[in-house]
């Protein structure tokens, strides 16, 4: 019988899942998610190559959402067949530099990291608990979004704070590592010359970051200690003068929880536009606030491309991925506009068609669909059949 792998990515308001069969190759069979966890939750899933199913489930919390995934989303496989479950985990701290088998002591260590990613880690761990309860015999592993960045040189790993804070773990961890891992593995397969050179990968989704990669290795990330830093995002602020935080505390009497809510959920494209964080909606309206929000997004992203190019001492390729990077031709155009000095020039027709190759300058520009779930499934396969 085939081994069946389930990947779970439990976020604050959604749980994404995929099912793979571990055959000669990894074959993806089902993809889906529960979104809007709460009273209006919906289970959306499809068997690959078939129509989507959408079911209103009104799941109240993560546990019931997972139960719906197990009982309906993947029921056609028969729950008993799930042999391995891989969890996406936001934070691996200093110690977790590769996927790990999830045992009780490991989970306790991961719990200690909750304060480092308060809006992600607790949900990731809830997903693990529910999956262990539902599939006590399945082999379960954790894959970390920070792991891809753990070999940064010290200068790109530290803040200019007294050294004791670095020793305590206040470092630039970087995130979106599973996505960067997938993109670099795609480049190694399909673009070997580019894979051995200097590339900037821009993961632009609701969360957004950029990674400088030299010869397949991450040298720097725009995200830092938390998934708030760097590029502006759907609802997160990106880079912010820490003086603003002091001001909000001292003059606006804001508590940490209120500031957290402001920076994670009410800022970025949503805060700047006052309308929405949906890139499709923002690029199809003429409202001046939307235009300003887009301009800020593009300008900060372009600025970080320049910074990454400086760290890499040049750039041979720019790769876009994530919901915006893969699909938003207007935003890609705004970002690349003015970067001809780095050899970055868009082929307008290819860009509009959402082609894979969208550049026409000296420096390659590609849009590649990322697949974090496949990276988790590959890690499970490594545990099962390390030499395959
Ligand atoms: P993600 O978090 O990777 O799912 O990305 C979510 C973001 O991608 C949202 O801002 C969406 O508006 C944007 N997005 C998704 N599909 C498209 C599309 N076809 N065109 C433009 N933006 C898109």
Q: Is 324 in the pocket of ligand 1 (CB under 6 A)?
A: yes
Q: Which two tokens stand for residue 372?
A: 């974090």
Atom of ligand 1 nearest to the CA of 370: 3
Q: Which of 159, 100, 109 is nearest to 380 (CA)?
A: 100
Residue 115: what pLDDT? 87
Going from the Cα of 387 to the center of ligand 1, the distance in angstroms, rounded, reads: 37
Atom of ligand 1 nearest to the CA of 269: 10
Residue 279: what pLDDT? 97
Q: What is the rounded CA–CA span in Å between residue 351 and residue 50?
A: 28
Q: What is the rounded CA–CA span in Å between residue 125 and residue 76?
A: 26
Q: What is the rounded CA–CA span in Å between residue 74 and residue 63?
A: 16
Residue 153 annotated as catalytic: no
Q: What percent of the chain has pLDDT over 90?
A: 83
Fold equal for 4-144 and 184-367: yes
Q: Which two tokens stand for residue 240?
A: 């912010």
Is residue 157 pLDDT above 80, yes or no?
Answer: yes
For 4-144, CATH number out of 3.40.50.1970, 3.30.420.40, 3.30.70.3270, 3.30.930.10 equals: 3.30.420.40
Q: What is the rounded CA–CA span in Å between residue 19 and residue 5?
A: 6
Q: What is the rounded CA–CA span in Å between residue 365 and residue 345?
A: 8
Q: Is 323 in the pocket of ligand 1 (CB under 6 A)?
A: yes
Minimum mean pLDDT among 13-22, 79-88, 173-182, 278-287: which range?
79-88
Residue 95: what pLDDT? 93
Residue 156: what pLDDT? 98
Going from the Cα of 323 to the center of ligand 1, the distance in angstroms, rounded, reads: 4
Q: Which of 15, 35, 208, 280 maximizes ligand 1 atoms within 8 Å of its Cβ, making it the mutation to test the pocket? A: 280
Q: Is 268 in the pocket of ligand 1 (CB under 6 A)?
A: no
CATH architecture, range 184-367 = 2-Layer Sandwich (3.30)
Residue 78: what pLDDT? 56
Q: Is 13 in the pocket of ligand 1 (CB under 6 A)?
A: no
Atom of ligand 1 nearest to the CA of 325: 8
The active-site residue, picked from 2, 145, 181, 286, is 145
C-alpha Rg value of the chain to the nearest Å = 21
Tell me the per-residue pLDDT of 237-273, one tens digit each, with 9 for 90 and over.
999 999 999 999 999 999 999 999 999 999 999 999 9
Q: Is 280 in the pocket of ligand 1 (CB under 6 A)?
A: yes
Is residue 216 pLDDT above 70, yes or no?
Answer: yes
Is residue 79 pLDDT above 60, yes or no?
Answer: no
With tokens 């505390």, the residue in question is 249
Is residue 386 pLDDT above 80, yes or no?
Answer: no
Going from the Cα of 179 to the center of ligand 1, the distance in angstroms, rounded, reads: 15
Residue 262: what pLDDT? 97
Q: Which two tokens stand for residue 237?
A: 């602020």
* The total number of residues written for the chain in this structure: 388
- Domain coordinates of the chain in residue numbers? 4-144, 184-367
Q: Which of 32, 175, 176, 205 maximizes ligand 1 atoms within 8 Å of its Cβ, making it the mutation to test the pocket? A: 205
Residue 388: what pLDDT? 58
Averaged pLDDT score across all residues of the chain:
94
Q: Which of 202, 324, 351 maximizes ligand 1 atoms within 8 Å of its Cβ, making it the mutation to test the pocket? A: 324
Is residue 40 pLDDT above 70, yes or no?
Answer: yes
Q: Is 352 in the pocket of ligand 1 (CB under 6 A)?
A: no
Going from the Cα of 50 to the center of ligand 1, the distance in angstroms, rounded, reads: 22
Closest residue CA from atom 17 of ligand 1: 327
End-to-end CA distance of the chain: 17
Tell me the per-residue pLDDT of 285-295, one tens digit each, with 9 for 90 and over.
999 999 999 99
174: Cβ contacts below 8 Å, ≥ 6 apart:
146, 148, 149, 152, 209, 211, 218, 220, 221, 223, 224
């Amino acid at each position: 019988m085939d081994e069946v792998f389930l990947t779970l990515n439990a976020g604050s308001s959604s749980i994404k899942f995929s099912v793979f069969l571990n055959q000669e190759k990894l074959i993806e069979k089902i993809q889906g998610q529960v979104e809007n966890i709460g009273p209006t939750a919906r289970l959306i899933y499809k068997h690959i190559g078939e129509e989507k199913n959408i079911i209103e489930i009104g799941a109240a919390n993560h546990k019931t959402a997972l139960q719906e995934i197990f009982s309906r989303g993947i029921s056609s496989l028969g729950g008993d067949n799930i042999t391995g479950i891989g969890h996406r985990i936001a934070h691996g701290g200093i110690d977790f530099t590769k996927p790990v088998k999830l045992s009780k002591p490991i989970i306790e260590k991961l719990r200690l990291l909750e304060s480092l990613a308060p809006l992600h880690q607790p949900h990731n761990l809830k997903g693990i608990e529910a999956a262990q309860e539902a599939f006590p015999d399945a082999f379960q592993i954790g894959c970390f979004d920070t792991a891809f960045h753990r070999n940064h040189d010290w200068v790109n790993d530290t803040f200019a704070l007294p050294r004791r804070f670095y020793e305590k773990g206040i470092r630039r961890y970087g995130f979106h590592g599973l996505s960067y891992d997938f993109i670099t593995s795609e480049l190694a397969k399909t673009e070997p010359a580019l894979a051995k050179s200097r590339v900037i990968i821009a993961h632009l989704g609701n969360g957004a970051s950029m990674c400088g990669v030299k010869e397949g290795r991450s040298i720097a990330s725009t995200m830092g200690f938390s998934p708030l830093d760097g590029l502006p995002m759907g609802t997160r602020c990106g880079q912010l003068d820490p003086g603003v935080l002091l001001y909000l505390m001292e003059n606006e009497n804001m508590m940490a929880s209120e500031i957290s809510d402001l920076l994670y959920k009410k800022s970025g494209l949503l805060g700047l536009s006052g309308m929405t964080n949906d890139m499709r909606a923002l690029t199809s309206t003429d409202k001046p606030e939307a235009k300003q929000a887009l301009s800020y997004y593009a300008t900060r992203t372009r600025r970080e491309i320049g910074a990454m190019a400086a760290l890499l001492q040049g750039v041979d390729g720019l790769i876009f991925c994530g919901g915006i990077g893969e699909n938003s031709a207007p935003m890609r155009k705004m970002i690349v506009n003015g970067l001809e000095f780095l050899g970055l020039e868009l082929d307008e027709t290819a860009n509009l068609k959402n082609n894979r190759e969208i550049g026409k300058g000296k420096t390659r520009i590609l849009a590649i669909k990322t697949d974090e779930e496949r990276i988790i499934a590959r890690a499970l396969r490594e545990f099962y059949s390390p030499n395959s």
